[in-house]
Amino acid sequence: MAHQSDLIAQDILAYLKTQEEKSMLRFITCGSVDDGKSTLIGRLLWDSKMVFEDQLAALEADSKRVGTQGENIDYALLLDGLQAEREQGITIDVAYRFFSTDKRKFIVADTPGHEQYTRNMVTGASTAQVAVILIDARKGVLTQTRRHSYLVSLVGIRHVVLAINKMDLVDYSTERFEAIRREYEAFAAGLGFDQIAAIPISALNGDNVLTRSEKTSWHQGPTLMEYLETVQVADAAGQKPFRMRVQWVNRPNLDFRGFCGTIASGMVHPGDEVVVCSSGQTSRIARIVTMDGDLSRAVAGQAVTLTLTDEIDISRGDTLASPEERPYHSDRLEAKVVWLHEEPLLPGRSYLLKAGSSTAPAQVAELKFKVNVNTLQQEAGKTLQLNEVGICSLSLGKPISFDSYRENRGTGNFILIDRLTNATVGAGMIHQPLLQPGSGHWQSLDLDKKSRAELKGQKPRVLWFTGLPGAGKSTIANLVEKKLHSLGRHTYLLDGDNLRQGLSCDLDFSDAGQVEHIRRVAEVARLFLDAGLIVLASVTSPFRSERRTAREILEPGEFVEIFVDTPLPVCEERDTTGLYRKARAGEIRNVAGIDLAYEVPENPEITVNGAQTSAEVLAEQIVRELYG
């Protein structure tokens, strides 16, 4: 099937040798729906004879059955593997294909054109070196063209092919081609591309795909394949300072301790000095170990095990780097974030940030602005919805090592993970670290929580009362505090409604407002706990994620979740403030239990039935359970 079939049959070793020595180019095709992305890749595979005999037979049969191209071959069916893709004639998922020519090997990602699949498009572009942006010659530059161009620039691709397709439908008009080229180049001037190569093609007929078309004799540039075979994409990673994130510390016996990982950039030799970015300790490379024996050098992209001349502390997630050109090491950073999940981004909510093998709790401290990827305009916003892009400030639970994405794609990216579902919800490209006043760490004081608590003769705790509005949280918490006070305990009650009169008076009741409100309550509770007090927090706190975050900022055993389980009808019946009545009438929004989901605690320390038992009895029950 391949062009090297004869060589394979005659000398398989020679064939493998030629394959090994070829350079690899990763590229992506993108564009609006029906611009011909799948057809173009199918044509590339077909013309480069990279279709197996059984695939060919299936393609001919499918083309007749689907019938979108009459009696001709429908090349798009080589890429559209999903049933829904074939039925709708669109690309939904990312499809990767490998093929090669005499000069180069290729991995191409066919990505969706529809806006709702932007996350798939970004995924496909994240590893590409060249983007082929298709434009329908009849329609010209569309909103999706601008959108995809921005996303391509966002992920760091600097070489673009402007493939103006379906030239056969505009009579191979040079005037039409030039008008589209000029319009696109004017739009893309601010996107930072190093090169834009405009090529007139007809993917369906094969014009200027592999072979030069006689119908576009006015085009003096290369064909698409000529461009892909010759474009010089600098091995930028190899030219950058050395970086390797440690994925695993390999210690099979007392005589060997190696640090395994893939080199993200640069190169190292035995004897080179390296630094552990988290601790600042330095050592030198003793050996570069691989399955095939030790190496005299290792370069970007290679997975190796490094041994050092000194026994210094290095763990999974640490970054080894060149001492002369170290990466940033900070717990605050600014980044572009592409949101990939149906649940919106909520500033203040705790996520997990994963950068290579390093994972840290992370909060989006501020959404500075959103980027309208259709117009490239900056827009104000409090959250990011699915497929939206925003510039965010992030605060991490611990420092990580990173570079700016523009300087190093390998160490400048991250993903955000939902802490409850483990779903990947966002992808980020780091701009820079953020400076912060002070040292960025808690100041050590002579008097600590233990000494203050001992003076009061008690164990500090946070009693976190959660439940629907009207469940009886504040009433029960108030009674519990009175009983503890009578027992000589030192307490303070943080009531959610009271805090919204001052500390949280600037927040609304939206999801984002609720998240920030709970974050503030949790931080205040931590300060009071540090003072040695027993803190009672009475807040609806509808989301499990924020309750979990409040628990995690305290030491084990300090957070006691008390779920006041009162059914919604009972809460509505008790409604003395008119909250539920107004929510039912549509006068107010974001009321838990009505139009805002309340996530019931999964494993609270204490659950009380707020509907069947009096608050006095429940308070007594809680105090007895906690203090005997």
Task: Categorize the per-residue pLDDT at 121 as very low, low, confident or very high, splitting at 50, 70 and 90.
Answer: confident
Question: Residue 238: its pLDDT value, please?
Answer: 73
Say if CB 516 and CB 347 are below 8 A apart: yes
Say if CB 154 and CB 429 are below 8 A apart: yes
Nearest-angstrom CA–CA distance, 285 and 272: 5
279 is catalytic: no
Q: What is the rounded average pLDDT of the residues 154-173?
A: 92
Q: What is the rounded average pLDDT of the residues 256-268?
A: 92
Q: What is the pLDDT of residues 462-510, one digit of tens each?
A: 999 999 999 999 999 999 999 999 999 999 999 998 999 999 998 888 8
Task: Categorize the per-residue pLDDT at 70 as very low, low, confident or very high, splitting at 50, 70 and 90.
Answer: low
Give the 3-state secondary structure of 253-322.
ECCEEEEEEEEEECEECCCCEEEECCCCCEEEEEEEECCCCCCCCEECCCEEEEEECCCCCCCCCCEEEC
pLDDT tops 90 at residue 6: no
Task: Categorize the per-residue pLDDT at 333 as very low, low, confident or very high, splitting at 50, 70 and 90.
Answer: very high
Amino acid in the structure at residue 366: E
Beta bridge partners of 110: 29, 95
pLDDT tops 80 at residue 49: no
Question: Residue 67: its pLDDT value, please?
Answer: 56
Question: Residue 82: its pLDDT value, please?
Answer: 45
Of 181 and 19, the structure prediction assigns the larger pLDDT to: 181
Of 387 and 417, the structure prediction assigns the larger pLDDT to: 417
Question: Nearest-CA neighbor of 416 among 395, 401, 441, 433?
Answer: 395
Question: How far, rounded to the nearest angstrom, does the alpha carbon of residue 510 sit from its chain's CA centroid?
Answer: 24
Please name the helix (run of DSSP H) or strand (run of DSSP E) that holds residue 30, with its range, or none.
Answer: strand 23-31
Of 335 and 301, the structure prediction assigns the larger pLDDT to: 335
- Residue 126, classed as helix, strand or coil, is coil
Q: What is the pLDDT of residues 132-162, one digit of tens each?
A: 999 999 999 988 888 889 888 888 898 999 9
pLDDT tops 80 at residue 15: no
In 356-388 the beta strands, taken as DSSP E runs, fall at: 358-372, 377-379
Of 436 and 598, the structure prediction assigns the larger pLDDT to: 598
- Burial class (CB within 10 angstroms; exposed 0-12, middle 13-18, buried 19+) of 182: exposed
pLDDT tops 90 at residue 101: no
Question: Residue 2: its pLDDT value, please?
Answer: 45
pLDDT tops 50 at residue 112: yes
Q: Looking at 401, 404, 474, 541, which residue is catalytic?
A: 541
Say if CB 192 and CB 157 are below 8 A apart: no
pLDDT tops 60 at residue 292: yes
Q: What is the pLDDT of residues 369-395, one digit of tens each?
A: 998 877 778 888 889 998 889 999 999
pLDDT tops 90 at residue 327: yes
The pTM of the full predicted model, rounded to 2 decimals, is 0.73
Question: Residue 148: its pLDDT value, please?
Answer: 86
Q: What is the rounded average pLDDT of the residues 418-439?
A: 82
Of 516 and 38, the structure prediction assigns the larger pLDDT to: 516
Beta bridge partners of 462: 535, 559
Say if CB 69 and CB 203 are below 8 A apart: no
Amino acid in the structure at residue 115: E
In angstroms, how far is the first alpha carbon of the chain from the final one? 80
Amino acid in the structure at residue 493: L
Of 13 and 570, the structure prediction assigns the larger pLDDT to: 570
pLDDT tops 90 at residue 163: yes
Question: Nearest-CA neighbor of 190 among 143, 150, 130?
Answer: 150
Q: What is the rounded average pLDDT of the residues 535-551?
A: 92
In percent, the amount of the chain with pLDDT more than 90 equals 51
Q: What is the pLDDT of residues 614-627, one digit of tens each?
A: 999 999 999 999 98
Nearest-angstrom CA–CA distance, 68 and 190: 39
Q: What are phi and psi of 134, to 5 degrees?
A: -90, 145
Question: Residue 218: its pLDDT value, please?
Answer: 94
Q: What is the rounded average pLDDT of the residues 171-183?
A: 95
In percent, the amount of the chain with pLDDT more than 70 equals 87
pLDDT tops 80 at residue 516: yes
